[in-house]
Amino acid sequence: MSEASAGSRPCSIGVLTSGGDAPGMNAAVRAAIRAASFHGVNSFAVHEGLKGLVYGGDLIKQADPADTGGILRRGGTVIGTARCKEFRTRDGRRAAARNMVERGIDALVAIGGDGTLTGCDVFRGEWPELLAELVDSGEISAEAAAAHPSLRLVGVVGSIDNDMYGTDMTIGADTALHRIVEAIDALRSTASSHQRTFVVEVMGRHCGYLALMASLATAANWVFLPEQPPAENWAAEMCRDIKAGRDIGRRQSIVVVAEGAADLDGNPITSQTINDLLETELGEDARITILGHVQRGGSPSAFDRYLGTLMGAAAVEQLINEEPGTSAQLIGLRENRVVASPLMECVERTRAVAERIKERDFEGAMRLRGGSFHNSYRILRTIQQAAPKTNTATGRRHRVAIIHGGGPAPGMNSAARAFVRLTLDHGATPLAVRRGFRGLRRGDIQEMRWMDVSGWVSDGGAELGTNRYVPTDADMPLIAEQLAAHRVDALLVAGGWSAYKAAYALHTHRTKFKDLDIPIVCMPMTIANNVPGTELSIGSDTALNSIIGDLDKIQQSAVATRRVFVVEVMGHDCGYLALMSGLSSGAERIYMPETGIRLDDLTADIRTMETNFRSGKRLGMVVRGEGADPVYTTEFLTALFEKEGGNLFDARAAVLGHVQEGGDPSPFDRIHATTLTAHCLKYLSEKLESGSRASAMLGMQSGHLQFTDLTSYPILVEKDVERPVEQRWMQHIRLAEIMCS
């Protein structure tokens, strides 16, 4: 975005949160206030939502970036939200306009749902008339009105439902998914002990996003969505499926129902209806859990902190750079990029989904939700079956193997589970290689059955085993022999840096050993997010959540002291975890391998820290990627801060270590492990059917899943360091600088 001339800038920006609260709103407020300050524009925090605008007084406070410290980790919104009847009236909006002009506010960042954004757009449309009325009644001067001829408005969507057109994700949805998935994981263990069925009701009156994604992440056995009513005979079908699950040995069943679920005739399908059915038809010991407001609560996830930060800053830059008189814009994240789209068009398209559902045009509703929603639904329906569909194909069944490599990445088990079930459903034979490429050399390969992977979706670690072993030239004949002995037709390599290296090594030896000449597909699974062909790897979201959980605790522990923490995070030669965790936890400084550490930087950082502590700061946090610099180690930095801090502050090191690789996978990692596996298998089966031997790396690029030819591996990675040449997330360094300034 180009910098606008100072003359066309807004005078002051008001930042408010309104409507239903959503975790991550604080990140957006903090980012908007800090970005305004960075660009030299005054800003106000409007407390209690639109009510604050109408009532003015102390509810509209001059914003100070320093006051936004420590709010990233807090749930809800620290500046409050409220429903406001008065704002629906013209008198109320006139009062709001007066309060704003009195303070020179002529631009708004409105963070809320479609109600808030609609109300604000009505207000924006009326602004010139409201000001004329205020001049006529003598409440403001003609000069004051002339200084603010138009109201600039940018909307940021805070909504746990993820139901807004114009953005792939809304602030709060990922955290809500965390809460739901934690709850269902917990229910599963008690359900299993008692052989029970739990019917879990989640939020979503018009949008089944939470219900669908939670089902995918927890392996729920049945799901009801508003956009996709079940077939007419759903009751019998559901009972048959639950019973089939019991017959094959499932100790528990989970049914997820969105609060707006209904049948084809529009009759609500409630948790009670389902519960009664299960009890009367199957004699199940069923229980209902309505998750309710728990879904809104708690500390925001790493993704919501990042999303809120990205959107809050982008909203302010939009206000500063847009031409006066531009229609209101909505800031969204589409295809992994921040975009601004006409706000009211987004609101109208959002409401169209609810209209389609009301008119029972379910196909239309699903179409409006987009391809990935539909695709996720299809995958869910396949893998939640009690058994694969009967295969009628004749001829030799293809044999496809999965292998891990690299460090453990949360989500590996979710991938292995999806691999086994989708392969079987497709009529092929799934094989699992145990203990990575070392195991492959020894022939540690076994056929897998449907129930072998039961319960794997939520487990951290890697049941099949993984290690960093990369086969040598001498290993190749042994590996070729094993692939031939087990008649492996294709290979899915799900892992990190060494897995990719190993896959490429096999691929380059295919001309020498015909048994290595099989289609291979690499799937990015590493917490470091350092493999080529993708912007994002599975496992890194879990690691980030684990890191920010620890950073939150470190921040809390330092309340009573004046201290600088130097926190070391993993990532080898790649600074992704350092940058993203620093951004999501409000670190003052982030040291990364890509940018290195210079003595001048350290001197400047110590001076900044001193200034901040002198003006009342109590905690400083510095995040250092483990490979940031071979000389300026974590120990060195800590000693330096300790020495230079003198009486102002002391310094401590915290090396987070292997906890970052562990833990149950986050909802995002479980879902992506599952959907990416489906894509990889489609690729392999297409190659097998067409007789092609092509091999590829699957990646998320610009929000799309894309395959890159495996032969291009060497040109996509840096020489001598373990990271890809292109790392698009590096663009967020600028955002981190704005937030730390």
Contacting positions for ligand ADP (CB under 6 A): 18-20, 50, 83-84, 87-88, 112-116, 118-119, 122
Q: Which is nearer to ligand ADP, 307 or 548 (CB)?
A: 307
Q: Which is nearer to ligand ADP, 170 or 685 (CB)?
A: 170
- Closest contact distance (angstroms) between CB of 76 and ligand ADP is 13
Q: Name residue, tokens 């013209």.
A: 90
Run of H or E including 715: helix 713-716
- Closest contact distance (angstroms) between CB of 291 and ligand ADP is 19
Whether 656 contacts 569, CB under 8 Å: yes
Q: Which is nearer to ligand ADP, 81 or 581 (CB)?
A: 81
- Closest contact distance (angstroms) between CB of 110 and ligand ADP is 9
- Closest contact distance (angstroms) between CB of 302 and ligand ADP is 24
In this structure, the strands spanning 490-495 and 399-405 are: parallel
Three-state secondary structure call for residue 393: coil
Q: Which is nearer to ligand ADP, 86 or 263 (CB)?
A: 86
Whether 338 contacts 703, CB under 8 Å: no
119's tokens? 């109300």
Whether 566 contacts 634, CB under 8 Å: yes
- For the chain, what is the total number of helices (H) and then of strands (E)? 24, 22
- Closest contact distance (angstroms) between CB of 119 and ligand ADP is 2
Read off φ and ψ for residue 406, nearest 5 degrees: 90, -175
Q: Which is nearer to ligand ADP, 113 or 208 (CB)?
A: 113
Q: Which is nearer to ligand ADP, 204 or 388 (CB)?
A: 204
- Closest contact distance (angstroms) between CB of 130 and ligand ADP is 13
Q: Name residue, tokens 């990140």.
A: 27
Three-state secondary structure call for residue 292: helix
Three-state secondary structure call for residue 500: helix
- Closest contact distance (angstroms) between CB of 20 and ligand ADP is 4
Q: Distance (Å, rounded) from C-alpha 310 to C-alpha 340?
A: 12
Q: Which is nearer to ligand ADP, 171 or 313 (CB)?
A: 171
- Helical ranges in 341-470 per DSSP H: 343-358, 362-369, 371-383, 412-425, 436-442
Listed in sequence order, the residues at least 6 apart from 510 whose beta carbon sits closer than 8 Å to its beta carbon are: 516, 517, 518, 693
Q: Which is nearer to ligand ADP, 153 or 479 (CB)?
A: 153
Q: Name residue, tokens 């949160």.
A: 17
**DSSP assignment of 186-214:** HHHHHHHHHT-EEEEEE--SS--HHHHHH
The torsion of the CA quartet 662, 664, 669, 672, rounded to 10 degrees, works out to 120
Q: What is the CA radius of gyration of the chain?
A: 27
- Closest contact distance (angstroms) between CB of 125 and ligand ADP is 11
Question: Which of 549, 422, 436, 541 has the alpha carbon at shortest distance from 497?
Answer: 436
Q: Distance (Å, rounded) from C-alpha 710 to C-alpha 279?
A: 53
Q: Which is nearer to ligand ADP, 119 or 645 (CB)?
A: 119
If one counts every other C-beta atom within 10 angstroms of the C-beta of residue 480, the result is 19
Q: Which residue is nearest to ligand ADP (CB)?
A: 115
- Helical ranges in 385-495 per DSSP H: 412-425, 436-442, 476-485
Q: Distance (Å, rounded) from C-alpha 309 to C-alpha 68?
A: 12
Q: Which is nearer to ligand ADP, 16 or 681 (CB)?
A: 16
- Closest contact distance (angstroms) between CB of 17 and ligand ADP is 9
Whether 187 contacts 200, CB under 8 Å: yes
Question: Which of 547, 431, 423 has the alpha carbon at shortest distance from 488?
Answer: 431
- Closest contact distance (angstroms) between CB of 340 and ligand ADP is 19
Whether 397 contacts 427, CB under 8 Å: yes
Catalytic residue among 121, 161, 541, 552: 161
Run of H or E including 135: helix 114-136
168 has catalytic annotation? no
Q: Distance (Å, rounded) from C-alpha 128 to C-alpha 401?
A: 67
Q: Supply the residues annotated as catalytic.
A: 161
